[in-house]
Amino acid sequence: MFEVLRQTGVVRLVADSKWRRQRLLILCYHGIAQEDEHLWRPALYMEHGVLESRLEIIRRGNYNVLPLGEALRRLRAGELPPRSVSITFDDGMANFAKRAFPLLQSYGFPVTVYQTTYYTEFQKPIFNLICSYLLWKRRSEVFEGANELGLVPPLDLRTETSRNAIASNLVRTAEKDDLSGAQKDELAAKLAALLGIDYQQILGKRLLHVMSPQEIAQLARQGVDFQLHTHRHRALLNEELFREEIQENRSKLQAMTGTPAVHFCYPSGVYKKEFAGWLKKEDVVSATTCEPDLATVRTEPLRLPRFIDTSAQCCRV
């Protein structure tokens, strides 16, 4: 859609119009690849050079990149400057500190990071992601001897469907057995050993890790805005448990940044109508979804749309 608009010249008309001035474009990014993660999950990971090209489009287009909180206040007041944009990153992966922030800083663009916090203190790869990544690394092979992992051999890794099924089985086993973070990491290490992958090398590079408390504190001092994304990256359909996720996430973020977080992002874009009332009880003032649109003064503050920018597309409206 965006490429068609660009080619027909409509983008410039929309960008300069009164209609566009009354709307806020919120961009969503996730990970910036350190190695080959963009080949494994192109919808989740973007190459550094692709992100740079996106930021260059924003700069050359004279877009006004605003901090999220300021942008939302000015939207409600009808005081948005032309071509208003806010940039957000979900999850707070370690590659944000290594790859994304230096680039954003060089452009002088403010950014909001919706930071999940469980893995900030448990500095290991996110379990479901590392299982999927390890299997993908051996995507042309078939393996025997997977019984100790609770899997039925052979492990045929030659199709995405098969790899996804194996990863899902590992996650279900971990949930069924109520494995701790450390136990899940041991399971991931066993999977790596079975596949002949150097797990210690992955740990050393901090692939699929989230940022540490020290990194978050440092980036907060440098102006990065850290906001709520739940403690364990889950939106539970129970009010007490849902609010506990918000409370723990906020408490840990405030300890790291010194600032109370009041903006929220629904994990994986999962939105239920009852969430809005629960968020209000926790004094959350805005919440973003993964629904593609521009925000207007009439948009429900706890259901703000965002455009997810990936390696395969570019948001230019």
Q: How far, in Å, are 116, 120, 253 from residue 258 at the CA level? A: 16, 16, 8
Using CB atoms within 10 A of its CB, is residue 156 exposed (0-12), middle (13-18) or buried (19+)?
A: middle
Which residues lie below 8 Å from residue 131, measured CB to CB, with a gap of 6+? Answer: 166, 167, 170, 171, 188, 191
d(CA 167, CA 54): 32
Please state the length of the chain. Answer: 317
* pLDDT score of 14: 53
* pLDDT score of 125: 98
Give pLDDT tens digits for 106-120: 999 999 999 999 999
pLDDT at residue 10 is higher than 50: no
pLDDT at residue 136 is higher than 50: yes
* pLDDT score of 3: 45
Q: Taking Cα atoms as reference points, which of 111, 5, 112, 103 lies closest to residue 54?
A: 103
pLDDT band at 207; cut points 50, 70, 90: very high
Give the DSSP letter of residue 96. Answer: I
Question: What is the mean predicted confidence (pLDDT) over 186-212?
Answer: 97
* pLDDT score of 15: 57
pLDDT band at 153; cut points 50, 70, 90: confident
Give pLDDT tens digits for 33-48: 999 999 999 999 999 9
d(CA 274, CA 238): 10
Question: What is the mean predicted confidence (pLDDT) over 254-280?
Answer: 96
Q: Model's pTM, two decimal places?
A: 0.92
* pLDDT score of 312: 60
pLDDT band at 1; cut points 50, 70, 90: very low
